[in-house]
């Protein structure tokens, strides 16, 4: 790869955008990402984002040579590969083929799924008109969140290996704190709470705190 910079449609509260930026900070290339203003919304779709991603969702990126990339999973792996190629070393965040890679990708899928369920709860309560809200739907998404948290507790990453699985765990938990402060996900999950407290001290996490 020859591309050295990336233009990124960004949202200050998005856990998926944060995942990309945490990866960039971990790789030491955050200063090579151009942040583009956007107004992502599932109803009022932003045509600027749509120029990069037909779904008009963030994160959406474009390389110097015009290659468009979406979603966070693709962009994060691109950044890891770009950094590895330039440094002539193996990727750091996405382990090579083998058990460690599948575990990292599984953890990424679990934490992304937790955020997907939580976003559906947020949209139901924030965007859907009150007479159309479905309490059963919200409750079932809540069950997914609970089950995902329990699965994360049973499958904690190594604090010393900030791979894509660990980064996605941390961004998902940070977003729950940000958007669902009353959820109290730490109760009964001491190990997960302690893991997150440790990971959250990383400079990449401090540099990417979500904002309203």
**What are the boundaries of each domain within the chain?**
6-87, 99-202
**Among candidate residues 19, 24, 50, the one with its CA nearest the CA of residue 115:** 19
Yes or no: domain 6-87 corresponds to CATH 3.30.70.260: no
Cα distance between residue 135 and residue 132, in whole Å: 10
Those residues with Cβ within 8 angstroms of residue 26's Cβ, 6 or more apart along the chain or in another chain: 92, 93, 162, 167, 202, 204
Distance CA 10, CA 59 (A): 6
Q: pLDDT category, 3, cuts 50, 70, 90?
A: very low
Give the pLDDT of residue 4: 75
Q: What is the DSSP string of 167-194?
A: HHHHHHHHHHHHH-TTS-TTTT-HHHHH
pLDDT confidence bin for 42, thresholds 50/70/90: confident
Say how far apart CA 117 and CA 63 lie, in whole Å.
Answer: 30
Alpha-carbon gap, residue 119 to 190, rounded angstroms: 24
The pLDDT tens digits of the residues spanning 76-93 come to 999 999 998 888 888 899
CATH number of 99-202: 1.20.1050.10
The pTM of the full predicted model, rounded to 2 decimals, is 0.94
For residue 171, give both structure tokens: 């961004």
**Mean local confidence (pLDDT), 137-156:** 98
**193 within 8 A of 186, measured Cβ to Cβ:** yes
Mean pLDDT of 157-181: 97
Residue 1 in this model has a pLDDT that exceeds 80:
no
pLDDT digits (tens, 9 = 90+) for 47-85: 899 999 999 999 999 999 999 999 999 999 999 999 988
* pLDDT band at 151; cut points 50, 70, 90: very high
């Amino acid at each position: 790869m020859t591309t050295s910079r990336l233009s990124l449609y960004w949202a200050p509260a998005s856990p998926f955008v944060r995942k990309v930026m945490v990866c960039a900070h971990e790789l030491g290339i955050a200063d090579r990402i151009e942040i583009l203003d956007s107004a992502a919304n599932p109803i009022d779709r932003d045509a600027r984002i749509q120029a990069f991603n037909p779904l008009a969702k963030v994160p959406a990126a474009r390389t110097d040579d015009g290659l468009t990339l979406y979603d966070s999973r693709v962009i994060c792996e691109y950044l890891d590969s770009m950094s590895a190629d330039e440094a002539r070393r193996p990727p750091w965040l996405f382990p090579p083929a083998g058990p460690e890679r599948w575990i990292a990708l599984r953890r990424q899928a679990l934490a992304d799924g937790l955020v997907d369920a939580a976003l559906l709860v947020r949209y139901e309560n924030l965007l859907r008109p009150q007479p159309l809200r479905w309490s059963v739907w919200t409750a079932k998404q809540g069950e997914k969140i609970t089950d995902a948290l329990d699965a994360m507790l049973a499958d904690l990453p190594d604090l010393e290996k900030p791979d894509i699985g660990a980064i996605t765990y941390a961004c998902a938990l940070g977003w729950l704190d940000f958007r669902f402060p009353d959820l109290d996900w730490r109760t009964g999950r001491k190990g997960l709470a302690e893991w997150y407290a440790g990971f959250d001290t990383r400079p990449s996490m401090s540099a990417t705190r979500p904002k309203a």
